[in-house]
Homo-oligomer: A and B are copies of this chain.
Amino acid sequence: MEKTDVLVVGGSAAGIVAATTGKTFHPDKDFMLIRKEVQVVVPCGIPYIFGSLESSDEDVIPDAVLSNGGIRTKIGEVVSMDTQSKVCVTDDGTEIRYQKLVLALGSTPYVPEWLPGTELENVYTIPKNKEYLDGLLAKLAEFRNLVVVGGGFIGVEMSDELHKIGKSVTLVEILPHVLELAFDQEFAMEAEKILESRGVKVRTGDGIKNIQGTTKVEGVILNSGERLEADAVILAMGYRPNTSVAEQSGIELNRMGFIKVNEYMRTDREDILAVGDCAEKKSFITRTTKNIMLASTACAEARVAALNLYRLSAVKTFGGTIAIYSTVIGDTAFGVAGVTESLAKERGFNIATAAFEGVDRHPGKLPGTHKQKVKLIVTRDAGVMIGGQVMGGASTGELTNLIGLAIENRMGVDSILTGQIGTHPLLTAPPTAYPLIKAAEAIAKSRWIS
The answer to whether A405 touches B406 (Cβ under 8 A) is yes
Q: Which of A258-313 contact B (CB under 8 A)?
A: 284, 294-300, 303-304, 307
B residues in contact with A351, CB < 8 Å: none
Please choose the segment from A167-175, A219-227, A390-398 that sits at the chain B interface, where 4 or more of its residues have CB less than 8 A away.
Answer: A390-398
Given known A-B contacts A53-B366, A393-B394, A398-B399, A326 and B427 have beta carbons under 8 A apart: yes
**A299: which of B27, B396, B431, B445 is its contact (CB, 8 Å)?**
B431
Q: Complex formed: what's the CA distance from A434 to B328 in Å?
A: 19
B residues in contact with A13, CB < 8 Å: 430-432
B residues in contact with A426, CB < 8 Å: 48, 328, 333
Q: Complex formed: what's the CA distance from A449 to B25 in Å?
A: 7
The answer to whether A326 touches B424 (Cβ under 8 A) is yes
Q: Does A402 interact with chain B (Cβ within 8 Å)?
A: yes
Q: Does A95 interact with chain B (Cβ within 8 Å)?
A: no
Please choose the segment from A76-84, A231-239, A414-422 that sits at the chain B interface, where 4 or more of its residues have CB less than 8 A away.
Answer: A414-422
Q: Complex formed: what's the CA distance from A335 to B427 in Å?
A: 10
B residues in contact with A411, CB < 8 Å: 409
Q: Complex formed: what's the CA distance from A398 to B402 in Å?
A: 8
B residues in contact with A284, CB < 8 Å: 420
Q: Complex formed: what's the CA distance from A17 to B432 in Å?
A: 6
A interface residues, tally (CB under 8 Å) = 91
Q: Complex formed: what's the CA distance from A422 to B27 in Å?
A: 28
The answer to whether B363 touches A418 (Cβ under 8 A) is no
Q: Does A42 interact with chain B (Cβ within 8 Å)?
A: yes
**A428: which of B17, B25, B58, B401 is its contact (CB, 8 Å)?**
B401
A428 (CB) vs chain B CBs: closest residue: B397
Q: Does A400 interact with chain B (Cβ within 8 Å)?
A: yes
Chain A 315-356: CB-based contact to B (< 8 A → 1; otherwise 0): 110100110111110000101010000000000000000000
The answer to whether B398 touches A420 (Cβ under 8 A) is no
The answer to whether B44 touches A296 (Cβ under 8 A) is no
B residues in contact with A296, CB < 8 Å: 420-423, 431
The answer to whether B337 touches A414 (Cβ under 8 A) is no
Please choose the segment from A59-67, A119-127, A193-201 that sits at the chain B interface, where 4 or more of its residues have CB less than 8 A away.
Answer: A59-67
The answer to whether B437 touches A303 (Cβ under 8 A) is yes
**How far in angstroms is the closest Cβ of chain B from A253?**
24
Q: Does A45 interact with chain B (Cβ within 8 Å)?
A: yes
**How far in angstroms is the closest Cβ of chain B from A14?**
9
Q: Does A128 interact with chain B (Cβ within 8 Å)?
A: no
B residues in contact with A365, CB < 8 Å: 53-54, 58-59
Q: Complex formed: what's the CA distance from A423 to B432 in Å?
A: 28
The answer to whether A363 touches B58 (Cβ under 8 A) is yes
The answer to whether A42 touches B425 (Cβ under 8 A) is yes
Q: Which of A368-421 contact B (CB under 8 A)?
A: 393-402, 404-406, 408-409, 411-412, 414-415, 417-421
Given known A-B contacts A409-B415, A418-B307, A419-B405, A424 and B65 have beta carbons under 8 A apart: no
Residue pairs across A and B with Cβ atoms less than 8 A apart, 24 shown, are A24-B445, A42-B430, A48-B363, A48-B426, A52-B367, A295-B423, A296-B423, A300-B419, A300-B421, A303-B437, A303-B441, A307-B418, A324-B422, A326-B422, A326-B424, A328-B424, A335-B427, A398-B401, A399-B401, A400-B422, A401-B428, A408-B415, A409-B411, A409-B415
Instruction: Please give 19 more A-B residue pairs, beta carbons under 8 A apart, in addition to A299-B431, A395-B395.
Output: A25-B444, A42-B425, A48-B425, A294-B422, A295-B431, A295-B432, A296-B420, A297-B420, A298-B431, A300-B421, A303-B417, A316-B417, A326-B424, A326-B428, A395-B397, A397-B424, A398-B398, A398-B427, A405-B405
